[in-house]
Amino acid sequence: MAILVNSSDGFQDCWAPFFRLLATHWPSCRFPVYLNVEEATYEHPSLEVRCLNHPRLPSGAMVPWSDRLIESLQAIPEPYVMSMQEDYFLDAPVRAELVEDCLRGVADDGVGCVRLTGFGARGGTKMAERPYLVDVPRISHSRTSTQAAIWDKEVLLSYVRRQETVWETEILGTRRAWSRYAAIRTVDRDRLEGRPIVSYTGTGIIRGKWHPELVPLFARPGIPMDFERRGFHALPSRWTTRSRMIASVVRRPGRFLAAILGAAS
């Protein structure tokens, strides 16, 4: 397995705190780490972070989010990836033994994806191969999500198409997942004993601004950060967030219809 951290050059201020907290809360991590970015590079004093660069197109335009994800997955030799975003700042030790157990579920049991947090799609009532996991029903919201998860790389690639934003990939990828079945499991907080497998605030950056909870998180280990440059986001309602996601796909209704019908495009 590899760890794939999806980011972009505009979020370079997130990289130092992200990787510092990763090294702090997962010191025994044995997996190679890849950083999906455009043209920037990054080095960490204790982690080997390999940058997967996707320079601008000849027109000068940035490579679309989904194109960079597809190309990053194709460049990674490992068959399984633990996918994360650069603003998932760890706030507690990773339960490495359960990460390994979830990886076995994907590699040995033929599961397409194991969601490592309670964020995203809600699990159903059907028990899974491990007592702390439940099945994510085939027809469910957010079946494809960018929250921390272990993926069979080929399954993830089958849900993503080029020329999509991150929100379009989540929404349209979920529709594709309805017709391209692969077992997906998620952690059930009621069945998991002890702390979360991977613990972080759902998203540290919201519409380009900091989540207020990061101030004490960065202060504890003494991580320097100029919060004034981005400012803080007033947390939106769930409806506001959902309406913005819907608006991002309504602009291209043909793509949305194709995803619902299970088309390959």
Count of CA atoms in the C-beta half-sphere (13 A) of 68: 26
Q: How many CB atoms lie within 10 A of CB 20?
A: 20
Residue 67: pLDDT band (50, 70, 90) is very high
- 75 pLDDT exceeds 60? yes
> Among 57-66, 85-94, 118-127, which is the least confidently predicted range?
118-127
pLDDT digits (tens, 9 = 90+) for 92-123: 999 999 999 999 999 999 999 999 998 876 77
Contact of 25 with 55, CB cutoff 8 Å: no
> What is the reported pLDDT for 263?
46
Tell the residue number behind the tokens 């540290």, with chain if given: 204
- Amino acid (1-letter code) at residue 236: P
Angstrom CA distances, 148 to 41, 144, 225, stand at: 23, 11, 24
Spans of all domains in the chain: 2-261
Contact of 37 with 53, CB cutoff 8 Å: yes
Q: What is the DSSP letter of 46?
A: S
pLDDT digits (tens, 9 = 90+) for 200-250: 998 899 999 999 999 999 999 999 999 999 999 986 555 555 665 566 666
Q: What tokens appear for 147 in the block?
A: 């929250």
Contact of 20 with 35, CB cutoff 8 Å: no
Q: How many CB atoms lie within 10 A of CB 245?
A: 16
Q: What tokens appear for 21 in the block?
A: 């907290």
For residues 238 and 242, what is the distance between their CA atoms, to the nearest angstrom?
6
Angstrom CA distances, 159 to 36, 121, 182, 226, 263, stand at: 18, 15, 10, 37, 11
Residue 264: pLDDT band (50, 70, 90) is very low
Strands 149-152, 80-85: pairing kind = antiparallel
> What is the reported pLDDT for 192?
94
Q: What tokens appear for 113 in the block?
A: 């994806």
Q: What tokens appear for 1 in the block?
A: 């397995």
Listed in sequence order, the residues at least 6 apart from 130 whose beta carbon sits closer than 8 Å to its beta carbon are 101, 102, 105, 185
Q: How many CB atoms lie within 10 A of CB 92?
A: 13
Q: Look over the chain and give the mean of its residue pLDDT values, rounded to a whole number.
A: 90
pLDDT digits (tens, 9 = 90+) for 133-180: 999 998 888 889 999 999 999 999 999 999 999 999 999 999 999 988
| Sheet of 149-152, strand order | 49-53, 33-37, 2-6, 80-85, 149-152, 113-115, 184-187, 133-135
> Among 47-51, 182-186, 193-197, 238-242, which is the least confidently predicted range?
238-242
Start-to-end CA span in the chain (Å): 28
Contact of 5 with 35, CB cutoff 8 Å: yes
What is the CATH code for 2-261?
A: 3.90.550.10
